[in-house]
């Protein structure tokens, strides 16, 4: 076997190794932080999953999740100090830093970023941040809203029934039924206030409403 060729005191295999180490990408793979989700839509109460992973030669240091940006950003996940509803999807992994937020709430909406820190002689240094994931929490109608619509519908049906019955009774009894008709209208108004007391414009007053027919009756008396 032929001996290795010597160049300036170094063998050919050593020169090839040095050459490979100096070519970008030929040695250790470059560190990358991947946050693939651009936007996520969840409903209240569901579990939100935020994906983050790293590849290549990972520097020594913690990985953290934040909500928002700048000095006012909120820490969401860290090895120490995570929010109560936040957990790691793959516990103990050195490459997968996906987190889950359980029981999602409307206030969880925002932009989330996973951030890589590197340990140093002083405080940990931030070296890489994810692109960010926009989280939207879709609202659900409270149970009171359908109940309100049902109440409004029943209100209109009852008012129509009362007015129709009052009109027919008035026509059958003649002018002497005007007073009874006035009391029926007042009863309808009171019923509306009882069915939907929170409707805008339903403000109670001390003096009861008096219909034109009622005023005419009072003038005749």
Per-residue pLDDT averaged across 17-21, rounded? 49
How many helices (H) and strands (E) in the chain? 4, 13
What are the residues whose beta carbons fall under 8 Å from the beta carbon of 212, sequence distance 6 or more? Answer: none
- pLDDT per residue as tens digits for the range 64-108: 999 998 889 999 999 888 889 999 999 889 899 999 999 999 999
CB atoms within 10 A of CB 214: 18
- pLDDT per residue as tens digits for the range 155-196: 777 777 777 776 776 666 655 555 665 666 676 666 666 655
Task: Answer left, alpha or beta for residue 118, where phi above 0 means left and psi between -120 and 50 means alpha.
Answer: beta
Write the burial class of residue 100 (CB in 10 Å: 0-12 exposed, 13-18 middle, 19+ buried): middle
- CB–CB of 64/82 below 8 Å? no
CA distances from 65 to 7, 25, 40, 89 (A): 51, 28, 16, 13
What are the residues whose beta carbons fall under 8 Å from the beta carbon of 96, sequence distance 6 or more? Answer: 52, 53, 89, 90
CB atoms within 10 A of CB 61: 15
CA dist., res. 180 & res. 195, Å (int): 23
CA dist., res. 136 & res. 121, Å (int): 39
By percentage, how much of the chain surpasses pLDDT 90?
Answer: 37
pTM greater than 0.75 (yes/no): no
Q: Which of 17-26, 94-103, 120-129 has the lowest mean pLDDT?
A: 17-26
């Amino acid at each position: 076997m032929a001996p290795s060729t010597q160049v300036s005191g170094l063998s050919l295999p050593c020169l090839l190794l040095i050459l490979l180490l100096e070519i970008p990408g030929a040695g250790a793979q470059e560190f990358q932080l991947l946050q693939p989700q651009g936007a996520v839509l969840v409903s209240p109460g569901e579990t939100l999953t935020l994906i983050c992973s790293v590849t290549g030669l990972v520097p020594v240091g913690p990985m953290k999740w934040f909500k928002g940006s700048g000095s006012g950003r909120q820490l969401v996940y860290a090895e120490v100090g995570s929010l109560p509803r936040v957990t790691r999807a793959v516990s103990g992994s050195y490459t997968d830093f996906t987190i889950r937020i359980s029981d999602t709430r409307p206030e969880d909406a925002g932009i989330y970023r996973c951030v890589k820190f590197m340990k140093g002689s002083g405080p940990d240094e931030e070296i890489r941040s994810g692109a960010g994931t926009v989280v939207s929490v879709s609202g659900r109608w409270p149970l009171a809203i359908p109940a309100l619509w049902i109440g409004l519908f029943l209100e209109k049906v009852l008012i129509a029934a009362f007015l129709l019955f009052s009109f027919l009774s008035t026509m059958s009894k003649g002018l002497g039924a005007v007073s009874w008709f006035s009391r029926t209208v007042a009863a309808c108004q009171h019923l509306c206030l009882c069915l939907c007391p929170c409707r805008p414009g339903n403000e109670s007053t001390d003096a009861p409403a008096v219909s034109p027919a009622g005023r005419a009756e009072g003038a005749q008396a």
